[in-house]
């Protein structure tokens, strides 16, 4: 360890994060949402959409909610109705419900027992499919191999057209990208349904759909075979459909998912309770699927000052770690976020960046941290931008980051062209080739600027965690503690989709995920 952090202070910080986060976990355990219930039915096999493009799973959950409420979950009413009607297909049941020919009630006694048994069998089939896809990933990595170097190179594709994204993603993989992230269409996080099918129009991104996941995964499997290394795929499990997208990602073998505990609250004004309930279920699915999550602390520094608010990033990382591990994720699945966002014009800006990046690395030594490039202070000067990205790449090598998102010199100017990506990848390849192992030699001066700054940030984080514990995390979010966004717990989008669980609530997916987790695979040991 290079920062001379006090182990007692590190333990204190983690304990405070647990104490601050525990009431939120208790709340998540005792509530459900329409999106959690839809995710359960997606795991149980429901597919397709009505002629207006609204998924049948939405229509079915809405019908159950209107007839029987959400407090007991949808599984008991749905699978009781399935048995009563003699149907074997949830999609057909949803169509009948939409036509008004099926009504839903909460079964009791023997009927409830039978409905539970049937629900667990259907949901279990979906989870078995996720297990199968995870095993498939392990076999492909063993066959093709993992990238030899760290950090993994993470590159974004975002045309809006999945059929245009595919060749761009394959070209990026040939140029050295280890991870392809398909940026989600702007605004999709606020849709309370997941679109169906392949999409050819998006806004600054491509819609996250099950078919788009399938198409891109198949294309990158071809690239993995061609290149002799497994190419990973990333998308976004956030917004109002976070649990459903997590389930679809597991079913289609995505490898990483953006999944932050507070991003949707702060930057999309989604209700805090809805977000925390959805997030816990989605992370349980990610844990089972062997998916690495990427958190979003970098976003705080696009609205707050990266020096003054550095400790809020550390606090969020500690909270994200607690929430993730409580949901079953292992250290190797924690792509905790941080970013190179300090104003380059201030004195010692690079030394400050090194202090913050090394602090994250030493607080979470087993996590594949996701290091984000400069965006806030990119001016449109592509030459200056390329230089800043070079410094970002150097900071990543000096501090041993695990996942390095490729910075673009055209940030804040245009959506990058293929040629822009090629130049950016040249920058990454040069720095990693010339200085890739420099972290072995880089040791900050004892008692010097970098050590002192890192310790200062840790102490400020502990002070903030003490305040959050005293006043609750929900109140801290309402007060604008993170990213200077004030988000009260009784407001925000999606609150009407939250319900407190009644006695007898039943969720077969949660029951399976909490009782028999899949065997874990630590990619760092390969």
Q: Which residues are catalytic?
A: 263, 298, 370
- Contact partners, residue 526, CB within 8 Å, separation at least 6: 141, 142, 146
Nearest to 293 by CA among 256, 329, 255: 256
Q: Under DSSP, is residue 402 helix (H, G, I), strand (E, B) or coil? A: coil
| Nearest CA-CA partner of 282 in 232, 324, 317, 318 | 324
Any alpha helices (H) in 86-150, and if so which ranges? 90-98, 109-144
- Look up residue 397 and give its two tokens: 């090598």
Q: What share of the chain is helix, strand, coil (3-state, %, to 5)?
A: 55, 10, 35
232-236: strand order across its sheet: 334-335, 292-294, 256-258, 232-236, 179-182, 152-157, 403-405, 370-372, 337-339
How many residues in the chain?
526
3-state secondary structure of 340: coil
Peptide bond into 155 cis (omega under 30): no
Contacts of 104 (CB under 8 A, 6+ apart): 63, 64, 67, 68, 77, 78, 80, 81, 97
Residue 317's Cβ-count burial label (10 Å; 0-12, 13-18, 19+) is buried
β-pairing verdict for 403-405 and 370-372: parallel
Q: How far apart are CA 358 and CA 277, in angstroms?
A: 32
What does the block give as tokens for 415? 């959506």
């Amino acid at each position: 360890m290079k920062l001379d952090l006090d182990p007692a202070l590190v333990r204190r910080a983690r304990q405070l994060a647990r104490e601050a986060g525990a009431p939120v976990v208790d709340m998540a355990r005792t509530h459900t949402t329409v999106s959690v219930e839809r995710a359960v039915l997606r795991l149980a096999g429901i597919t397709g959409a009505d002629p207006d493009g609204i998924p049948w799973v939405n229509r079915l959950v809405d019908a159950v909610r209107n007839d029987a409420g959400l407090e007991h979950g949808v599984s008991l009413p749905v699978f009781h109705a399935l048995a009563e009607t003699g149907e074997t297909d949830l999609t057909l049941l949803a169509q009948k419900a939409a036509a008004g020919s099926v009504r839903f009630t909460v079964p009791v006694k023997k009927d409830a027992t039978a409905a539970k048994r049937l629900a667990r069998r259907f949901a279990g089939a979906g989870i078995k499919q996720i297990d199968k896809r995870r095993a498939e990933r392990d076999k492909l990595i063993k066959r093709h191999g993992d990238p030899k170097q760290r950090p993994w190179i993470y590159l974004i594709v975002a045309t809006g057209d999945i059929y245009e994204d595919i060749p761009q993603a394959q070209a990026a993989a040939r140029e050295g990208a280890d991870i392809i992230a398909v940026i989600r269409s702007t605004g999709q996080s606020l849709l309370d349904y997941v679109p169906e099918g392949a999409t050819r129009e998006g806004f600054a991104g491509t819609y996250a759909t099950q078919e788009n996941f399938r198409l891109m995964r198949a294309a990158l499997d071809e690239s993995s075979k061609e290149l002799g290394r497994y190419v990973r795929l990333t998308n976004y499990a956030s917004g109002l459909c976070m649990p459903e997208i997590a389930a679809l990602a597991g079913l289609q073998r995505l490898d990483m998912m953006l999944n932050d505990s507070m991003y949707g609250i702060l930057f999309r004004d989604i209700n805090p309770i809805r977000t925390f309930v959805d997030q816990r279920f989605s992370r349980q699915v990610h844990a089972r699927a062997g998916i690495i999550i990427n958190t979003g602390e970098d976003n705080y520094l696009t609205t707050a000052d990266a020096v003054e608010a550095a400790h809020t990033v550390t606090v969020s990382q500690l909270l994200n770690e607690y929430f993730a591990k409580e949901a079953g994720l292992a250290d190797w699945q924690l792509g905790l976020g941080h970013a190179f966002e300090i104003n380059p014009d201030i004195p010692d800006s690079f030394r400050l960046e090194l202090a913050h990046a090394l602090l994250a690395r030493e607080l979470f030594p087993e996590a594949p941290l996701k290091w984000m490039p400069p965006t806030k202070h990119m001016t449109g000067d592509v030459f200056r931008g390329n230089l800043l990205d070079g410094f970002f790449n150097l900071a990543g090598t000096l501090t041993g980051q695990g996942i390095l998102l490729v910075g673009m010199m055209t940030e804040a100017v245009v959506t990058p062209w293929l040629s822009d990506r090629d130049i950016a990848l040249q920058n990454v390849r040069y720095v990693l080739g010339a200085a890739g192992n420099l972290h072995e030699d880089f040791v900050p001066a004892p008692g010097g600027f970098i050590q002192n700054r890192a310790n200062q940030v840790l102490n400020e984080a502990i002070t903030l965690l003490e305040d959050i514990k005293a006043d609750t995390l929900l109140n801290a979010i309402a007060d604008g503690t993170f990213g200077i966004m004030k988000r009260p717990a009784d407001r925000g989008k999606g609150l009407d989709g939250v319900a407190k669980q009644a006695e007898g609530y039943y969720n077969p997916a949660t029951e399976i995920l909490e009782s028999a987790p899949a065997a874990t695979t630590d990619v760092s040991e390969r």
